[in-house]
Structure 1
Amino acid sequence: MTKRAYNFNAGPAALPLEVLQQAQEQLVDYASAGMSIMEMSHRSAIYEQMNEETQSLLRELFGIPSNYKVMFLQGGASTQFAMIPMNLLPAGKVGAYVATGSWADKALKEAKLFGETTVVASSEADKFNRIPDLSNVEIPSNAAYLHVTSNETIEGTQYKQFPVAGDIPLIGDMSSDILSRPVDVSQFGLIYAGAQKNLGPSGVTIVIAREDLVQESPKSIATMMRYDTHVKNNSLYNTPPSFSVYLVNLMLKWVQSRGGVAAMEQYNRDKTQLIYDTIDQSGGFYRGFADAGSRSAMNLTFRIHSEELEKQFVKESEANGFVGLKGHRSVGGLRASTYNAVPLESCKALAEFMVDFQKRNG
C-alpha cells in the first residue's frame, strides 16, 4: 500500500485503516457464509444477528436508556429534516429551532413545509460564528419540540452544553459529532446522525428516539416516512443499506477497542489542540472563524488574510498529501475536519505544515 492521505474531508470522511482492512478481509466471505454481506438476505439469521449486535454496541457505547429505540434508516440527515416535522409536528403546535448555521437553516426550511415554526435563538447577526446563549431561552408553551444542531460542519461551531427544554422534547442533529464525546441521551427526545463522519460510510442514518415519541406516527404520511414503521420492523421493513450498517458495526467495535466514547473525547481534544494552538500562536497570520467559546472539536475553520494565499495553501497542502482543507464553497476559507478516525499523526503533520507555510509566506 502506498502512503495513506492525510484525510481531513468533511464527509464522507476518514475511516480507520484497521476497519477498512477488516472489511477487506471479510468482503467476499462474511461469517463463513460463502458470500459477502452485500449478497445475503436481510431476512437471514446472520444479517439479523449483525443488525442486533450493532444496535447493542451503540446502546452500550452511547449510554442509550432502555426506553429509547434505535433505527438504521436511509436518506441521510437531510431526510430527517422532513421526517421530524412530518411525525412530530401536529396542527396547533410549533416547531422551535435554534439557528446556528447552514445545517440548522436547512432543517428549519424543511420544517416550514409541514407546519408552523419559530426561531427561539440565532447567531446569524454574528455570521454564525458562535452558539447563541441559551441559558434563558424562551420556548413557546405550544412547542412540539426544540431542535438543535449540535455541531455545524461548515461554520465550525459546537454546543458545549445543551439547552434544558423541560417537558418539551429536545431533538438533536448530531451528524458530525455523535460518539465524539459523551452525551446524556436522556436529555433528548430524539437524536439523529448521518453515519458518514464519525460512525461509518454514507448510506445509513442513525435515529435514537424515546419510545413514546415514535410509537404511533400520523396515518396520513407515507409508510416509509413513519417512524413507527421502522420501530415495529426493527429497521428491516425494506432492504436496509446492509454494507453500511455492517461498517457501522466495525466502527463501533473500533471505538470500543480505543476505550469508548470518553477516551475518544480526550483523543479528539489532543488532536484539535495542536491545530488551534497553531492558529492562535500565528500572530494573526491564521485567524480562527469560530468564537473561541464555540469552537468545534470536529471541524476547525480558519482564514488567511489573503484569498490568494488561501488558494496557495490548498494547492501546496494537496501536493504534500493533505486532502479536504478547502473551506465549504458557501463560506470559503479553510477547514480541517478531525473526526474520530483522523489520526493524531495527521493533525501533527498539518500543524507542522501550517507553521512552515507561515514561515515561507508570513
Structure 2
Amino acid sequence: MTVLLGGCGLTGGSGDVTLTLVAADYGDSKSHTTRKYWDDLVEAYEAQHPGVRIEVSVYSWNDVDRKVEEMVDAGQAPDMAQIGAYADFADKGLLYPADQVLSIPTQADFASQLVEAGQVHGQQYGMPFAASTRLLFYNKALFEKAGLTPPTTWAELADDAAALKADGVKYPYALPLGPEEAQAETMQWLLSGGGGYTDTIGSYSIDTQQNVETFTWLKDELVGKNLTGPVAPGSLDRADAFAAFADGDVGMLNGHPSLMKTAEKKGVEFGMVPMPGVNGPSRSVMGVADWMMAFKQNQHREQVGAFLDFVYNDKNVLAFSREYDLLPVTTSASAVMTSTPADQDLEPFLEQLPLSELYPVGKTSWSSVSAYIKKRIGSSVSSGASPSAVLHQLQAAATAAQSAE
C-alpha cells in the first residue's frame, strides 16, 4: 500500500520546501496502517512550520526497502527513508551523518547500543526508529495441564517440550527456521549458547564451536525427537508460528511484543520469560531495530534535521511505540514508559533492551549474509544433515561477502 501524506494551505511560494519521506507500514490490517501515525504527525508539524510541506509514502515491509533502492538508482532519492537497512547507502556516501542533521540533545537521547549499531566506519548514519527484543512465550493453559513450570535452561526446555508432546500439543516448541525470518530465530539460539554472528572485533564467526554445539543440540534434542511440530523447521515461517500460537497449538516459541496482542485477541493466556541458556537464562538476547536515514541528494539538511527532531520528541516516539507494540529508541521515552502503569506489558521487553545484541547491520555485507542464512540454516537441523557442515558453508559465504565490502 502506498499512502501520500501532505499539508494544506501552502502557497507554493519560493520560500516553501517540500520534504519526502518513504516509510514502512507497521500496521496489521488495512484499517490499522502506519498512515494514521504519519498523518497526525505531519499535520502537527506543518501547523508549526507553514513554510514546510512533508510528503510521506508508506509501503509494506515486502516492498519498502526495494522501493527506496529503486528511487536511489533512478537518481530520485527521498530526503528521508525509514526502512530496515542503511549501511549500503552510507558506504556509498549518500547519507548525512546523524550529527549533521540532528540536534545534540536528540542524538544523545538514543539508547547507546542502538547508536553503536547505527554506525559505519565509526560514524553514525542509521538513526534508530523502532526497536524490539525477544522473550520466550509459553501457553499457560498447556503448561498448567501438563504440570510444567517455564524453563530456564535448554535441558528444561527440552523436558517441557517432551511433556507437552506427550499431552498431544501440536507444536511443543515452534522453531521457525523458514525463509521469512530465520536469521532472527538463529541469532536468538546462538546467543543463548554463548555465541553469535560476529566476534569481538566484528568479523563473522558463524561456525565457531559454540555455534556448532548449539545447532547440534537443536537437531538432536528438539528436532530429532519430534518436539518441534509437524512442519519441518526449514519450512516454518515466523508468521505461521505466531498464528499457531494464537490458535493454542504451540507450547513455546520466541516472540516479540506484537505477539502479545495477537494472542490476546484469540483469548490465549500466555507467560513470558527470558530465553533459556545452557546453564540458566541467556546472558544476551537478540534486539532488532529499524532505521531512519537522511539522504544528501536534495540538500535539505537543515529542514530534515528540524523535522527529525520533531519525530524524535517523547510524545511522538511514545505514540508510535504504544500503537504498534514496539520499544522506544530513546532513553527519555523508555523512562516514561517504564514508569507508566498502562505500559507494563512491555516492561519485560524494555528490561531486555540494554542486554540486547543487534544484527551486524553496520556491515554492508549483512544483507547478503542474512539472505543466505534464511536460505540455508533450516537444512542444518534436518534428518541426516550436518550442522557443522552447514555453518561452515555459511561462514565461507560470510567471509567472502565481508572481503568484498
Larger Rg: 2
TM-score, length basis structure 1: 0.28
Greater helix proportion: 2
TM-score, length basis structure 2: 0.26
